A and B are shown apart, each in its own frame.
Chain A
Amino acid sequence: MSDRDSEFGEYLDSRAAVMRRTAYLLCGGDWHRAEDLVQTTLAKIYAAWPRLVRGSGIDGYARKVMVRAAIDDSRRAFRRRENAVERLPEVGVPPAGVDDAVDVRRALARLPAGQRAVVVLRYWDDLSVAETAKALGKSEGTIKSQASKGLATLRTLLADGRVAVEGLR
């Protein structure tokens, strides 16, 4: 196994699970799309690995690639395509607070992709405004304004409870 493969393999093992959670939130609550997103992101990281190792900016690059892929994906008209599968996919549902979790996912899915990315990077990945701006290639002012709008939308959707969120399905 080459150095690239073994080093990248270590990186994959240590980050993939965490990346999947971020991807899941970025794509509005779909574990299967999240895994696709992680796979695409990791493949791009593999291709750029020698350059990334030299520059030691792997996580930043990973974030940038994943967010862009998520936003591009959500813009595509065929995003809601249906796939025939042999078996029903396993969908993670918590034993307690199921409705609550589903509400949050639906509310998150209602945010525009860019706004959702800001909310996820700021409040899930705990990035600063400057780091979020760098990851998304936007100004800090835009990030602040989108974070504020995202919070306001979530507040409205979640404050009105299930009726509001379900009405938006």
Chain B
Amino acid sequence: MSEFTESDVRAALDRAVAGEPPFTLDREAVFAEGRRRVRRRRTAAYGLAAVTAVAVIGTSTLAAGALSTSPQPMPPAAPTAPATTTKPTKPTKPTFPASTPPSTSTTTHSAAPATTSADRNSAAMRDASIAWPVEILRKEGAHGEWYRFDATGTLSARLITKTGDRRLIVQLRGPEGVPPATECPPATRSSLVCSRYDHPDGTVLRVLEDHAASSIVVTSLRPDDTYVTVQETASGILPSRLARVLETHTVVDLALVEGLSATGG
């Protein structure tokens, strides 16, 4: 390599980020850490204000005392109740009603449902009519069968093709916390294409395709407040395939599979 120009560096950096694994940034954690920082900042500001106030009052009091030339008259003692002293109290242990033995953890067991929501969602996905591309030779789930959701409402599956693997991730979540965005972000790159649809049944659908990263994320917000996020990305495990295998309409179909719910049981 006799010449190594700026365009060589750019090409090298491009190569370095090839084979990007699926994005697993925890949105909730970002918001939680951000809020923690805001709280810390406020607490620090109040603390500083309090320290400043004490310093100012202290300084002025000392200055007043030091500068006074005559003794200050003592105010008459106020007719108050006889002084009492408070005995230092021992830290008390929490007490429990006699009938309730102390326990370190409380678990409420309701009648166990016949099937869990993970089972119901897995069944809904299994029975969905999805036109999988013939290129997909096999689908392997991280939790057993490809359609299997875990208890947190996540399905992760390898889509195995002749030219390498892709990763399919389906996440279900309710409206609590910070929900996924259903609005299109401002256009920042030409390779990022976003569209939004309102279905007659009240479902809102957002399709975000990143042509540079060969990935797609479809988010549907359903009338029962369930968010279904479906994404196809590079697998991150050899042999990975850079090109997408699922057509946009297939990913949309996955996001609209009937019976998926994060809010029921």
Contact = CB atoms under 8 A, between A and B. Distances in A.
Interface in B1-47: 1-2, 4, 6, 9-10, 12-13, 15-27, 29-31, 33-38, 41
A104 B1 CA distance: 14
A115 to B, nearest CB: 12
Contact of A124 (B13, B23, B26): B13
Contacts of B241: 95
Chain A interface, >50% SS class: helix
B164 interface: yes
Nearest to B7: A123
Interface string B152-186: 00000000000110000000000000111101011
Contacts of A151: 4, 6, 9
B16 A158 contact: no
B25 A35 contact: yes
Nearest to B20: A92
B237 interface: yes
Interface size class of A (residues with CB under 8 A): 35 or more
Interface string B125-151: 000000000000000000000000000
Contacts of B34: 8, 42-47, 49
Q: Which of A12, A31, A42, A95 has the most CB of B within 10 A?
A: A95
Q: 8 smallest A-B Cβ distances: which pairs?
A: A46-B34, A14-B185, A94-B19, A155-B4, A43-B33, A47-B37, A90-B236, A159-B1
